[in-house]
A = this chain, B = another copy of it.
């Protein structure tokens, strides 16, 4: 995709339906169709990222995957960059939604199910696509300018939400922080390792079990003091 290629410098920009202002009173007009098409394009982008990787996620391929002509696509997004920017934001918000949703189920607040929920999460297309973008952002300045602030925002919200969600850990902030970092690092790292062939899939269950034990051992009210 290569965000913001060296400017072709032709003329001015034609027209971009940046933000549909929802003209009419409170009722939204059929411009909801536009939103649907945009969503379809973003979805197609995610699929392309998963199937073909960031490098081969080209505008023609996304259009084809979405079942649209490239011209139509450019009408909705104007730029390839705009498309992936929208995709990043969508993935970011999806991550936050998924996290919030899991948080709202108090019956899943035990360590085991929480770990398994997160593990299931990092195996979904959304995570793979996001990592594809994150890797690209390492060397793409423009992509990084979009992605890195969101990564930081996610970390912040993650911590805040988690803190509000587990009052039991309040008096052990250090252990809590460690448990969170451990979980993120191990689960996300393992997902990537499996995807890239660096790790044997067969090792996963034991690792999950060990992580769960680790978290339990970090609980301040748990028998036996926490390590570190």
The answer, yes or no, to whether A132 is at the interface (CB within 8 Å) is yes
Known: A55-B2, A135-B53, A196-B137. A207 touches B186 (CB 8 A): no
The answer, yes or no, to whether A193 is at the interface (CB within 8 Å) is yes
Cα-based distance from A227 to B217 in the complex (angstroms): 9
Number of copies: 2
Stretch at the interface among A6-14, A65-73, A112-120, A148-156: A148-156
Q: How many chain A residues touch B (Cβ–Cβ < 8 Å)?
A: 50
CB neighbours (8 Å) of A152 from chain B are: 197
Per-position binary interface string of chain A over residues 192-226, scored 1 when its CB falls under 8 Å from any chain B CB and 0 otherwise: 11011111100100110110011001000000000
CB neighbours (8 Å) of A151 from chain B are: 196-198
Decide if B147 touches A197 in the complex (CB within 8 Å): yes
The answer, yes or no, to whether A42 is at the interface (CB within 8 Å) is no
Q: How far is the CB of A130 from chain B (nearest CB, A)?
A: 9
Q: How far is the CB of A28 from chain B (nearest CB, A)?
A: 36
Cα-based distance from A199 to B188 in the complex (angstroms): 11
Per-position binary interface string of chain A over residues 105-135, scored 1 when its CB falls under 8 Å from any chain B CB and 0 otherwise: 0000000000000000000000000011011
CB within 8 A of A185: which of B56, B186, B209, B217? B186
Known: A2-B56, A139-B53. A131 touches B185 (CB 8 A): no
Decide if B198 touches A188 in the complex (CB within 8 Å): yes
CB neighbours (8 Å) of A132 from chain B are: 135
Q: How far is the CB of A89 from chain B (nearest CB, A)?
A: 16
Decide if A139 touches B2 in the complex (CB within 8 Å): no
Decide if A196 touches B131 in the complex (CB within 8 Å): yes
The answer, yes or no, to whether A182 is at the interface (CB within 8 Å) is yes
Interface residues of A (CB under 8 A from B): 2, 51-56, 131-132, 134-140, 144, 147-148, 151-152, 155, 177-178, 181-182, 184-186, 188-190, 192-193, 195-200, 203, 206-207, 209-210, 213-214, 217, 227-228
A-B contact pairs, 15 of them (CB 8 A): A53-B138, A134-B198, A147-B197, A152-B197, A155-B200, A178-B207, A181-B203, A185-B189, A185-B190, A185-B207, A188-B189, A209-B228, A210-B228, A214-B214, A214-B227
